[in-house]
Amino acid sequence: MHGLKKNKVRVAGSYIYLTILALLAVFPLLWIIVSSFKSNNEMNKFPTSFFPKELTMRNYNLVFEELKFGNNMLNSLIVSFASTVLTVVIAALGAYAVVRFFPKFGKLLTQGLILAYMLPTILLAVPYSITLGQVGLLNTRIGLIIIYLSFSVPYALWLLVGFFKTVPIQIEEAASVDGANKFQIFVTVVLPIVAPGIVAVAIYTFINTWNEFLYSLVLINSRDKMTVAVALQSLQGQEILDWGVMMAASTVVVIPSVIFFMCIQKFIAGGLAAGSDK
Amino acid sequence: MKIRKKKKSPGTVLFILPTVLLFVLLLLYPVLSSVFYSFTNKHLIKTRLDMVAFENYASVLRDKEYWNALLTSSKWTLICLAGQFLIGFTAALSLERIKHGRTLFRTLLIVPWAFPTIIIALVWKYLLNGVSGFIPNLLLKLNWVSAAPQFLSNKDLVFPTLVFINVWFGFPLIMVNVLSALQTVPKELYEAARIDGAKSGQQFFYITMPQINPVITLLLILRTVWIFNNFDLIYLITGGGPAGLTKTVSIYAYEVGWGLKSLGRSSAVSILSLIFLTIVIVILLQLQKKTNKNE
């Protein structure tokens, strides 16, 4: 009886604790969104009400018409989309080869790629900017796309190895008896089985490249090629800090990230735990 | 036998070739060239390149600012790790305990994880700024303080504030991974322990912890590396200030490389970090081996 009561208190405590944490976790997101619809006048008043008294689109108009933020969003979309497609293709081929054809060498390779995770971004940024400069790809989106592969492929490969391991080899053998070659088997038999994993990895890659900051900062320097993260940073340097405008720009950047993230939360949950026994 | 022969067919190499190329061109080559640059006077703009042997390393190690940055980075890593694990663990255990709304809570709690660093920086700067910031003004209204606290420029407040923001952003990853690790622990173990009369605290330390130890160690290593190396969060919020109080090794390396334009010296700083991190990880792995033996 006593134990039961103690347990109830514990459960109640858990609910309270989680509620406080959840409020803290989502408050900044809500604050960004509601602030983006507030007029300048209202933003600087205190106490400011949580919800705007009158909705204004002024901030959004400024963001897209005067600051041409749509252009930066397009840059980010191009860079993230291209690196995601390349990442998924390279990592899927590589992960399959690691699982099926080169288990020993593959293990070495994945370990090498994990080690890459240890490298400070700032360490790689130096040779990247030098080499891109030498081949004329500095300050280009193509250069940035290539560099993004350096962190997205290792992680994607690592995750995909786990998915490919779940594919039963018998199915592939059956297809090979029917006369299909390795590439045909890979595309028509294996890929459909791991499709959910590939979609999840693609979304994860997209978010990470969309959010990336340092490489974009040091490898791109003209305003018309800047990605959203760096464009937002450069907005801060302007004479008058207009928080309404900043929050409107932030809203259009953070919302896709959060929505995509929600879609793959189940997958994220298993990621590392599955990886640890590889 | 037939399958084995097929494995060696040249077609299979094409599958792994892109990955190997990427590994060599985007990781191996840059690291090796970084090591090379660290022994040169490579400049961001000037094209002349001379070998300077260990001069970069010597000048970094002689620089008091470097040692301060290393100390700041170490302090920063330790405190943020502790915070992230404390909140992440307790949140995961609480989620395990409740029956209703588990998915809802988990969904809300991972929101910070989806934030781009630049937005984390912007929103917290906006919420915390000493003039019109929501939080300082709220504290004033509640009469908890007599003057609006300058969270990001006061020398006593800036470090704890940054730690708070880092933990806010970082705890969901720990929570989610601990949660899924917890679900791999066989339920029978707990039942057996309960029959033997083990208290929940005992169950946690004798059943849960040993079972999820491998995941925790991996998480610990990955997070240590990530927090230590992380550049953008602090750079975007304080830029290393006020008065260099929050200047970590990454920010120091950036300033040397892109501020002073001395890429050679910047490389030396990063290589030193890499050596430092390797030592830390080896120690962590040794510790894990030891605890495994003790069990």
Domain containing residue A246: CATH number: 1.10.3720.10
A84 and A3 assigned to the same domain: no
Per-residue pLDDT, A74: 96
Look at chain A and report how many structural domains it folds into.
2
Q: How far is B287 from chain A (nearest CA, A)?
A: 17
How large a percentage of chain A has pLDDT more than 70?
91
Look at chain B and report how many structural domains it folds into.
1
Q: How far is A68 from chain B (nearest CA, A)?
A: 18
Q: How far apart are CA A232 and CA A209, in angstroms?
A: 15
Q: How far apart are CA A126 and CA B124, in angstroms?
A: 30
Residues 55-74 on A with a CB inside 8 Å of B are none
Per-residue pLDDT, A3: 64
A141 and A21 assigned to the same domain: no
Cα distances (Å, whole numbers) of residue A265 to A210, A261, B101: 17, 6, 15
Could you tell me the pLDDT band of residue B1, with boundaries at 50, 70 and 90? very low
Nearest CA in chain A to B211: A273
CB B272 within 8 A of CB B156: no
Per-residue pLDDT, B202: 83
Q: Please give the residue range of the domain that contains residue B174.
A: 54-294
A153 chain-B contacts, CB cut-off 8 A: 19, 22
A21 and A131 assigned to the same domain: no
* Residue B38 located in a structural domain: no
* Residue B155 located in a structural domain: yes
Could you tell me the pLDDT band of residue B289, with boundaries at 50, 70 and 90? confident
Residue A255, token pair as written in the block? 């919302």
**Contact flag A265-B107 (C-beta cutoff 8 Å):** yes
Per-residue pLDDT, A120: 84
A124 and A167 assigned to the same domain: yes
Cα distances (Å, whole numbers) of residue A7 to A20, B98, B105: 20, 11, 20
A224 and A148 assigned to the same domain: yes
Asked if this assembly's ipTM is beyond 0.90, the reply is no
Residue B227 pLDDT exceeds 70: yes
Residue A70 pLDDT exceeds 60: yes
Q: Please give the residue range of the domain that contains residue A25.
A: 1-34
A255 and A170 assigned to the same domain: yes
A74 and A195 assigned to the same domain: yes
Backbone Cα Rg of chain A: 24
Q: pLDDT tens digit string along B8-38?
A: 567 888 999 999 999 999 999 999 999 999 9
A28 and A163 assigned to the same domain: no
* Residue B28 located in a structural domain: no
A185 and A267 assigned to the same domain: yes
Average pLDDT, chain A: 87
Higher pLDDT: B4 or B179? It is B179
Residue A239 pLDDT exceeds 60: no
Could you tell me the pLDDT band of residue A135, with boundaries at 50, 70 and 90? very high
* Residue A44 located in a structural domain: no
Q: Determine what percent of chain A falls in helix, strand and coil, rounding each to the nearest 5.
A: 80, 0, 20
Which CATH number does the domain housing residue B192 bear? 1.10.3720.10
Residue B192 pLDDT exceeds 90: no
A221 and A264 assigned to the same domain: yes
Per-residue pLDDT, A32: 94
